[in-house]
Amino acid sequence: MPHNVLIVDDSATMREMVKRTLRMAGLDVDGVYEASNGIEALARLAEHEITVILVDINMPTMNGIQLLTRMKQNQRLRHIPIVVASTEGSRERIEQMQQFGAYGYVRKPFQPEQLRDVLKPLLGVKDHAAAENADAGSDLF
């Protein structure tokens, strides 16, 4: 089964940075899809089989927490792992994301190693040399 990643962030620059990071991290990714808010993300999820979602919190139209809530209410979508990539630093907000069902969290700005650490259990790696250089810096819930 292909490994498809959906990046949900209102910044096109950040989406491009994440795509580049995914390539650099040597993760086993077949397809990358993008959405600029929660509404667009739900549309992509209806069109494609997604393995893992990387989602920002602070977005217009439908933010990351609203997207998490909607996904957890949907039988087809509720089991897709969600990794939050956000500037949020508050302990309460991070715990809130965990309660909403997020699989992991990386705080912006993040290094490729941090993203790889949190996504590796979900996607596996293509580049074994890169995997051996893994470094801590992200959180799995």
Binding site for other proteins (CB under 8 A): 10-14, 16-17, 20, 57-60, 63, 65-66, 86-93, 107-109, 111
**Residues 115, 7: contact at Cβ < 8 Å?**
no
**Residues 123, 25: contact at Cβ < 8 Å?**
no
- CB of residue 2 vs other proteins: minimum separation in angstroms? 26
Beta strands per DSSP E along 31-81: 31-35, 52-55
What span, in angstroms and rounded, lies between the C-alpha atoms of 124 and 137? 18
**Residues 70, 104: contact at Cβ < 8 Å?**
no
Decide whether 10 or 127 has the Cβ nearer to other proteins: 10
- CB of residue 92 vs other proteins: minimum separation in angstroms? 5
What span, in angstroms and rounded, lies between the C-alpha atoms of 130 and 125? 8
What span, in angstroms and rounded, lies between the C-alpha atoms of 117 and 125? 10
- CB of residue 29 vs other proteins: minimum separation in angstroms? 17
- CB of residue 11 vs other proteins: minimum separation in angstroms? 4
Decide whether 50 or 64 has the Cβ nearer to other proteins: 64
Decide whether 67 or 122 has the Cβ nearer to other proteins: 67
Decide whether 49 or 58 has the Cβ nearer to other proteins: 58
